[in-house]
Structure 1
Amino acid sequence: MQNTLPQEFIDQVKNIYKTKSQNILKTFEKSKPTTFRVNTLKAKKEEVLAELSKLGIITKLGPLQNSFIVTKDKKSLSRTSLFEDGKIYIQELSSMIPPLVLNPKEEEYILDMTAAPGSKTTQLATLSNNKAKILAIEKNKVRFQILKHNIQLQNAKVKIKNEDAFVLNKKYSEFINFFDKILLDAPCSAEGRFDLSNTRSYKFWNKNKKKEMARHQKGLILNAINMLKPGGILVYSTCTINTMENEEVVDWLMYRINKSKSSQSEFISESRIKVLPINLNLPNIMHGFTKIDGKELNKQIKNTVRIVPNELFNAFFIAQIQKY
């Protein structure tokens, strides 16, 4: 395997996860089981599971709220009428966590900044029983159409805009200090989704890609804070492993907001942020790093969470940030 994945990536995994690295590298050898959630806006869980059983698709409860794992199938889940009718949504377990952390409530104004294909957007609608006021943004026109299709298929009450989240607050001044909660599942180098059976998943990878993504992420997360109302919550997440796109982005943001004397944006001098703890009842989690290659980060970074990849979960990073 070490002859297949980029050596620099392997070294990175070893540097981050130390004694756990060999087991983690092995997770890239096997595909994860199919997991899904029931769209309770269109169907009841009991009816969906009974129908799947009739089709020869055996499932078990997953470790997260409204999550299910396919253990045996005589028919692909994506070829069932339940999937085609939007009564279930096939989604990786790790991908389900950020909306659960955001915990949308009725009547809250919620922004999903980079929303396509819509897995987390529709999950937010389901979690709030379609009573949160959700706005989903997607820049890419093709992906925007996929987002639109999935929202309609899932019966999710979500407003959508084909816009660039990078400049959203500049184009819509009414969004400044407006949203109760924001989800920024940021575009990233997707290291957590590398799959040895699919060379396309990692052939693009290099250290310059990480730097490029981190620059973009910093712009997005700063804009997110700008649009968050005081007291509001931002959940920042990526499906990547390196610290440059994870802990170091949050650390940069905390310095920029809490310590910067810049007058470029009014909110920088008036607002502060803090990283809130995340409570997840999972065995495969670890706190974010507060020291990286000898560099000390803000101690609050320990409140961020890393999902350690295993036979069920892909790698993920999640930070819950409050503006005050």
Structure 2
Amino acid sequence: MSKEERRKKAGAHHSVAERQSRSGGPRVTGLIVDELGKALATVLKLDGPADVLMSRFFRLNHKLGSRDRSIIAEAIFFTLRHLSTIAWQMKPIVPARAPRLTAMVALARIYGRDALDERTVGNDAGPLDNILRSKPENATPFVQSELPYWLYERLNEQFGDEAPALFESMKEGAPLDLRVNLLKAKREEVIAELTEHGVQALPTPMSPDGIRLLTKPGLTSWPIYREGKIDVQDEGSQLIARLVQPKRGEMVCDFCAGAGGKTLALGALMRSTGRLYAFDVNEKRLSGLTPRMRRAGLSNVHPIAIKTERDTRVKRLTGKFDRVLVDAPCSGTGTLRRNPDLRWRMNEEELARINSIQANVLESASRLVKSGGRLVYATCSLLEVENQRVVEAFLSKHPEYEIMDATDVLAKQGVNLPECAKAHAPYFVMAPHQSGTDGFFGAVLVKKEMRQS
């Protein structure tokens, strides 16, 4: 399973908790409290991705049934999404140092205090009830944002009056979006097939290839997935591929391909013609692309692991490409609905380190573009320092490039962005509270035609 697919699966948990909470929720057993406490003791160390740590925990814990696992997973993601207010309620107790008590606080907030019987709570009844008397809505706006202060401050400055709505949206779970593989199916056919199986599915409002599911089925075991007719991909990510707008028979490069979600989208838009190079410095992550491209029916993709962005294999292709996508390494602040732990693991020092890499990667990738070719810089970050500022710095050094209006690029493909997105022109900017997608940024740059003397 790719990282993007794990994110989608992780994002599914929140909506289940909300449904159960509204219906009164389940009775929470002592086993669930104890095992959730053990899981939080590991996850709250924040020394690795929560979905990976959770998978390891469940793999080693065979005594838990599917219902127990579901409740525990719900509560872990709820805790990570609401860790700031939980810590505020528990103060001076530190959640990571009292994982069992933290587990009960989270479960009580999801399902109600009555879901925890007195035998399960035991001697913690007094402390738990005292903690729950502190209502999160009485905390400061910073605490209620559920963000570290450095990130709260930056996003407040950027989004101004819209910041509270953004913060609220990042506490929610993300929808499950699919991209229809146009080589193998049409969107209407896939929606009809999903509907026959009782899955509520709607066309995405912007992406012509997208489907949004109103439920969270285990799609990876279904024939429709195994046959390569669909792939899991956020609508905003699908539109990044549309910014590249690759043509049949062209030379195209996905410079930071990762597990290859956008590579597959590009390959489908090219109708599996031309040559599509997928570069990445992480050989293990890139190796996952091969089975995915076979399932998708793509024969034009060439995955290549490189040592650095200045690898000799990259230099040999200088000036050869019609289109280059730089899906740059970033803070991932646009994906906090799916990766709630990331807000607590990221810091300003790491942001500065990534920021320098972004400039270097864009610089190196730009050399691959031929005269008249297109260069797209993209991130899944909400921060201007990783987005507009990087592009502005690049353009100041490279007069041979000029920026295109991303809104126009998409409009010519039948994609009509909402007015809130058009306001960011010439850039492509998606934010969860505005578009319902993950947070994405894109800039479309064109290398000017060389004039013959």
The TM-score bracket by the shorter chain reads: 0.7 to 0.9
**Equivalents in 2 of 1:51, 1:305: separation in Å?**
33
Q: Which amino acid in the other structure matches residue 70 of structure 1?
A: L
Structure 2 residue corresponding to 1:177, chosen from 316, 319, 326: 319
The alignment-based identity, stated in percent, is 25
The counterpart of 1:306, out of the listed 414, 420, 429, is 429
Matched, 1:282 2:408: no
Superposition misfits of 4+ residues, deviation over 4 angstroms: none
Correspondences of 1:237-248 after superposition (within 5 Å)? 237-248=378-389
Alignment match, 2:368: 227
1:71 pairs with one of 207, 214, 225? 214
Among candidates 150, 163, 167, match of residue 310 of structure 2: 167
Q: CA deviation at 1:172?
A: 4.2
Letter of the 2:417 partner, please give it: L
- 1:317 aligned to which of 420, 423, 441: 441
CA distance change for structure 1 residues 46 and 303 in 2, over 3 Å: closer, same or farther? closer
User: In 2, Cα distance between the equivalents of 1:199 and 1:40?
Assistant: 32
Deviation at 1:145, TM superposition (A): 1.4
User: What CA distance in whole angstroms lies between the structure 2 residues aligned with 1:143 and 1:83?
Assistant: 20
Are the aligned partners of 1:186 and 1:236 in contact in 2 as well (CA < 8 Å)? yes
Structure-2 residue corresponding to 1:210: 351
Residue type matched to 1:323 in 2?
K
TM-score by length of 2: 0.62
1:236 aligns with 2:377: yes
CA distance in 1, matches of 2:254, 2:308: 9
Given that residues 260 and 286 in structure 2 are in contact (C-alpha distance below 8 angstroms), is that contact kept between their aligned partners in structure 1? no
Q: Name the stretch that deviates more: 221-230 or 146-155.
A: 146-155
Between stretches 314-323 and 124-133, larger displacement belongs to 124-133
Instruction: Return the offset for 1:199.
Output: 4.1
- Cα separation, partners in 2 of 1:198 and 1:222, compared to 1, 3 Å: closer
Question: Which residue in 1 is equivalent to 2:85?
Answer: none
- Looking at structure 2, the residues matched to 91 and 150 of structure 1 have their Cα atoms a distance apart, in angstroms, of 13
Distance 1:303 1:98 in 2: 14
What is the CA deviation profile of residues 38-81 of structure 1, one whole-angstrom value per residue up to 9, with x for unaligned ones?
A: 112223434322221222112111121111111246x3333322
**Which letter maps to 2:304?**
K
TM-superposed CA distance for 1:179, in Å, is 0.4
Q: How does 1:1-324 map to 2 (within 5 A)?
A: 2-3=142-143, 4-63=146-205, 64-72=207-215, 75-157=217-299, 158-164=301-307, 166-168=309-311, 170-195=312-337, 199-258=340-399, 272-279=400-407, 280=410, 281-283=416-418, 284-285=420-421, 287-288=423-424, 303-310=426-433, 312-324=436-448
**Structure 1's 274 and 14: CA in aligned 2 closer, same or farther, altered over 3 A?**
same
Aligned letter for 1:278?
Answer: A
How many Å separate the matches in 1 of 2:188 and 2:253?
31
Gaps of 5+ in 1: 259-271, 289-301
CA distance in 2, matches of 1:43, 1:211: 43
Alpha-carbon spacing, 1:107–1:165, altered in 2? closer, same or farther (3 Å): farther
Q: 1:220 to 1:58 in 2, by over 3 A?
A: same
Secondary structure of 1:244 counterpart:
helix
Q: Write the deviation string for residues 7-48 of structure 1: whole angstroms up to 9, x where unpaired.
A: 211111110011111111111111121110111222343432
* One-letter amino acid of the structure 2 residue matched with residue 87 of structure 1: K
SS of corresponding position for 1:314: coil
8 Å contact 1:286–1:307 — kept in the other structure? no
- Asked whether the equivalents of residues 62 and 69 of structure 1 are also in contact (C-alpha less than 8 Å), the reply is yes
By how many angstroms is 1:248 displaced? Answer: 1.1
Q: Which has the larger radius of gyration?
A: 2
CA distance 1:126–1:176, change in 2 (3 Å): same
Q: 1:201 deviation in Å?
A: 2.4
Indicate conservation of the 8 Å contact 2:179/2:232, yes or no. Answer: yes
More strand by percentage? 1
Q: What SS class does the counterpart of residue 89 from structure 1 fall into?
A: strand
Q: CA deviation at 1:309?
A: 2.0
One-letter code aligned to 1:250? V
Q: CA deviation at 1:287?
A: 4.9
Q: Distance in 1 between matches of 2:284 and 2:423?
A: 36
Structure 2 residue ranges without an equivalent (≥5)? 1-81, 83-141, 411-415, 449-453
TM-score, with structure 1 as normaliser: 0.85
Return the alpha-carbon distance in structure 2 between the equivalents of residues 174 and 166 of structure 1: 12
AA paired with 1:282? L
Query: What one-letter code is carried by the residue in structure 2 that aligns with 1:322?
Result: V
Q: CA deviation at 1:223?
A: 0.9
